[in-house]
Structure 1
Amino acid sequence: MAIVVLADLRGRGGMVNKDTVAGGYGSRFRADSVWTRIAKNARSVFLNVPSIHVGYLAAIFAREGHEVVVTHDDRAVEGDLALVLTSLVDYRHEREWAAAARARGMRVGFFGTPATHLPELFEGFGDFVLTGEPEAAALRLAAGEEMSGVVPSPAINDLDSLPFPRWDLVKMRRFGHASHRRVGLTRAVPMLTSRSCPEHCTYCPHRITASFRSRSVANVVAEMEELQRLYKNVHVKIRDPLFTLDRERCLAIAEGIRARGLKLSFECETRMDDLDEELIRSMHAAGLREIAFGVESPDPAVLKKVARRYIPHEHMRRMIDLCWRLGIVTTAFYIIGFLQETEEVIEETIRFACNLDTTHANFKILTPYPGTPQFKQLKPLVFETDWEKFDGYTLTFNHPNLTPRRARLMLGMAYSRFYGRPSRLFNFLGMHRYSRHPLLERADAWAWRKYDYFDRPWVSERKATA
């Protein structure tokens, strides 16, 4: 039996979301304004959930009789083998931790999306680097194999063959989810019911490591039942990039949850054109309380350039309105800084986000991630040499219409205009039916004019220089 240390390190200089965030590259929110600072603090509470691959590796090693220790900080931990989950935005910190562990006599390996697509960043700081999804290599390590150099870890096609993640070994935060309809916080646990994504968006890193595969309905529901047995009151964060791809499978999962009498809640991420009223109502009856989806840009021409299928705006509005009526929280994702965009186009995207009226909105700056088609396209324009700035909140390439400073200012504008609306307060308090009242619409228009003043170039430049 060996002592296996799994290092899922907290970020140095701020919380880092790892694992499935940005396809596994990770993200560190950079706050420049009041509203972005509020968003950053909220994320440190509600998005600070354990990394799902660490849960799987803990289960694999524990099943083979090894002692598993999970660490999140820089304190020295003794063991025989250490596996470090990598991110792009905190890779120097992860390398330093690994080098220190190696100096104490431990064998050290790296895994994760950055290790897969940029193994040269980690070579020399450990004994081996796993490329690909880590579970196949972990099975070999658990059986006693010693590894060195760059080690391919092929994707496992039969996801049902993997043990359920061992969250009892991961030192999870006790809470991580808040409900508009209930006082208090709930323990949040991540889950993957499928891996990769069958879509072909050129900017997205979710599909670059392995092909799309999904677990069986029975296997998914069995894991949910196990989570409820362990934690009673639990909220499941389904981290699939496209949970509702197979409509019949989703309906079957919802039916399985109801048939077993599970009293958990869950959230998912998907495309809006994969949703309809029957599916939403069925999942809501099974415990669906949040849906996240990508809009990216309201402009069909912009979406076509990045191979993203256009979703009719009216369909999105109908589904969002249904979610408001059912009490389902909605979060829309937007990207600013596509090559065709000007500041005026970005402002229209912000206005669209406000009018679409989701519960939350998440704005990011276009980031060319290694391994994506867009990275190859933009590589001649990339000027940034510090990989830690490929965080989703920093412009890393020469944009024809934006400077890095202006891009950050536009990002701050997006958050202030979306979250600084008076009607937003009513939405947050669960009083959406009043948010379209004429008085509130006038108040929102006044707020927009106020932000127009504060976002004028001379004011913005002064803020950026301060």
Structure 2
Amino acid sequence: MRVVLADLKGTEGLVTKDTVAGGYGSRFVPFSLTTHWFCHVKRSYVQIPSVQMAYLAAICARNGHEVVWTRSEVADGDVALVLSSLVDYRRETAWAEAARARGMRVGFVGLACSKLPELFLEHADFVVAGEPEEAIRELAEGRKLSGLVLGKPVADLDTLPFPRWDLVGNWSDRLQQISLGSLHPRRRFPLLASRSCPEFCTYCPHRILTEYRVRSVENVVEELSALTARWPNAFVIFRDPLFTKDRRRCLTLCSEIVRSGLRIEFECETRLDHLDAELLFAMRRAGLRIISFGVESISSQTLRKVARRPVPEAHQRHIVAECRRLGIRTAAFYVFGFLEDDWESIAATINYAIDLGSTSAQFKILTPYPGTPLWKQLGPVVYEKDWQRFDGFTPTFRHPKLEPDELRFLLGAAYARFYLRPSFLKNLWRIRHRALVGLVDKLDQRVSEAIREKEISLVSRAVTC
């Protein structure tokens, strides 16, 4: 059997899929010079093949089937598996219709088709709702899948074959990518050391498909060994939402990476209250170069309202400073539009994002994703009817204090105020020379004043608290 794996590339704005937003994906359509620049730069290191599809490639190949991967063209085959998203579902269903017209049976996998199967069923022969590996294993063993198929969670993640990156993606040297952690081009591979998330944030879709499970340290190290044996220059992206949940396990993993002589570099995402100086040192020694974390809002009260445990500000500053000392770049995430937010609170969060001193920052607009507790809470005030606009950057519900245009303006102001500062480049390039640091601080003040005047000219008020 010839299996076509369709990991389709979005065409409008900066589109990321796979495990982004739990699998719903995101789409950032730039609307200013700063956001155009941000999307252009970020596109150079976020466009990586899907780890979900790489697992399915391994399952199909292990059962003796030919695997073909595509990002756009409708390749010939017997069956096609399409990675679903919310932000690009119309393109995905159109591709499925074209594939069926050529005689292929088509199925959808992923979070989007699991939670909103009605968007995909009429365009496919089957839709897998839930984790897809067990259902696709049955398909590879000869079962004919039809209609809505329940995907059973993988009980033991160590039993899965390692992702087949030789079958998924184009790894020619000219398509190697830079990363925030290194200006040297290198191949970037996502890796899942766990699935789901143990936290209970009401707005987060990472935990709504299955329960939290982890792989053994030995299994993760074995995958890393196989990966680096074939691609010695690999940069690994751990896609776990909470990589350091188990401190002892993380320390053991770092120790095993060093003991095994694996010369890797990697990035991960976690919570700042699951980090300390000793753990950071061990992770840096094992190859950590970038760490991402959610700050979301400066207001502890706002965070508690969405069941997110606040991290003390002093600890946030300590960890970011420790990362800077160790040469680990940091990426902080922020969300605008919580129900308690107003102009002043978002302005305060923007100011804090700048003052915290992370290497980079990402700002998004609160989105009530289907299947989350927030969706149930905000359902009556959701006005957006186009599912593709549930993209993480577009207002979708009636906010009690802010108009959609105000939220978008504040979003643009955040990117301008963070990335137009000369000190952004100072942090990125790790400039420490005292005279240069003093000059950068003075230039920051001038840039801030220029942005303030521009904001007043546009909306008659500055983004200040």
TM over 0.5: yes
SS in 2 for 1:455: helix
After superposition, give the CA deviation of every residue in 1:263-304 in whole Å (9 maximum; x if it has no partner): 110110000000011100001001011100000001011001
Residues 423, 435 of structure 1: 8 Å contact kept: no
Residues 333, 361 of structure 1: 8 Å contact kept: yes
Aligned length: 458
Query: Hey, what does 2:35 align to over in structure 1?
Result: 36
In 2, the alpha carbon distance for the partners of 1:245 and 1:433 equals 37
Amino acid at match of 2:253: I
Amino acid at match of 2:33: V
Query: Hey, what does 2:136 align to over in structure 1?
Result: 138
Query: Hey, what does 2:58 align to over in structure 1?
Result: 59
Query: Hey, what does 1:352 align to over in structure 2?
Result: 352
In 1, the alpha carbon distance for the partners of 2:7 and 2:382 equals 29
Query: Hey, what does 2:17 align to over in structure 1?
Result: 18
In 2, the alpha carbon distance for the partners of 1:435 and 1:162 equals 54
SS in 1 for 2:15: coil
Query: Hey, what does 2:84 align to over in structure 1?
Result: 86
Offset at 1:133?
1.0
Query: Hey, what does 1:216 align to over in structure 2?
Result: 216
Query: Hey, what does 2:45 align to over in structure 1?
Result: 46
SS in 2 for 1:124: helix
Amino acid at match of 1:441: D
Q: Equivalences for 1:27-176 in 2 at 5 Å?
A: 27-73=26-72, 75-173=73-171, 174-176=175-177
Offset at 1:14?
3.6
In 1, the alpha carbon distance for the partners of 2:439 and 2:233 equals 40
Give the 3 Å change call, closer, same or farther, for CA 309–426 of structure 1 in structure 2: same
In 2, the alpha carbon distance for the partners of 1:228 and 1:20 equals 23
Offset at 1:446?
2.5
Amino acid at match of 1:293: F
After superposition, give the CA deviation of every residue in 1:173-209 in whole Å (9 maximum; x if it has no partner): 54233366x6521111000000000100000000000
In 2, the alpha carbon distance for the partners of 1:320 and 1:215 equals 28
After superposition, give the CA deviation of every residue in 1:330-368 in whole Å (9 maximum; x if it has no partner): 000000011111111111100000000000000000000
In 2, the alpha carbon distance for the partners of 1:363 and 1:184 equals 26
Q: Equivalences for 1:237-276 in 2 at 5 Å?
A: 237-276=237-276
Amino acid at match of 1:159: L
Offset at 1:393?
0.5
Amino acid at match of 1:294: G
Query: Hey, what does 2:204 align to over in structure 1?
Result: 204
Which sits farther off after the overlay, 154-163 or 15-24?
15-24
Residues 111, 131 of structure 1: 8 Å contact kept: yes
Specify every segment of 5 or more residues in structure 2 that has no aligned partner in the other structure, as ranges.
Answer: 461-465
In 2, the alpha carbon distance for the partners of 1:140 and 1:460 equals 58
SS in 2 for 1:303: helix
In 2, the alpha carbon distance for the partners of 1:201 and 1:183 equals 34
Offset at 1:42?
1.4
Residues 180, 290 of structure 2: 8 Å contact kept: no
In 1, the alpha carbon distance for the partners of 2:402 and 2:223 equals 47
TM-score when scaled to structure 1?
A: 0.96
Query: Percent of aligned positions with the same letter in both sequences?
Result: 51
SS in 2 for 1:57: helix
Which sits farther off after the overlay, 219-228 or 12-21?
12-21
In 1, the alpha carbon distance for the partners of 2:278 and 2:44 equals 33
In 1, the alpha carbon distance for the partners of 2:432 and 2:142 equals 57
Residues 160, 219 of structure 1: 8 Å contact kept: yes
SS in 2 for 1:131: strand
In 2, the alpha carbon distance for the partners of 1:97 and 1:79 equals 14
Amino acid at match of 2:159: S
In 2, the alpha carbon distance for the partners of 1:18 and 1:183 equals 24
Query: Hey, what does 2:414 align to over in structure 1?
Result: 414
SS in 2 for 1:221: helix
Query: Hey, what does 2:442 align to over in structure 1?
Result: 442
Residues 5, 69 of structure 1: 8 Å contact kept: yes
Specify every segment of 5 or more residues in structure 1 that has no aligned partner in the other structure, as ranges.
Answer: 462-466
SS in 2 for 1:109: strand
Q: Equivalences for 1:445-464 in 2 at 5 Å?
A: 445-456=445-456, 458-460=457-459
Amino acid at match of 1:452: R
SS in 1 for 2:451: helix
Are residues 1:404 and 2:404 paired? yes
SS in 2 for 1:292: strand
Amino acid at match of 2:295: V
Give the 3 Å change call, closer, same or farther, for CA 204–63 of structure 1 in structure 2: same
Residues 426, 440 of structure 2: 8 Å contact kept: no
Amino acid at match of 1:238: F
TM-score when scaled to structure 2?
A: 0.96
Which sits farther off after the overlay, 439-448 or 54-63?
439-448
In 2, the alpha carbon distance for the partners of 1:366 and 1:291 equals 22
Which sits farther off after the overlay, 9-18 or 138-147?
9-18
Q: Which runs of 4+ in 1 moved over 6 A?
A: none
After superposition, give the CA deviation of every residue in 1:206-234 in whole Å (9 maximum; x if it has no partner): 00000000000000001111111011111
After superposition, give the CA deviation of every residue in 1:100-128 in whole Å (9 maximum; x if it has no partner): 10111111101111100000000110101
Residues 194, 213 of structure 1: 8 Å contact kept: yes
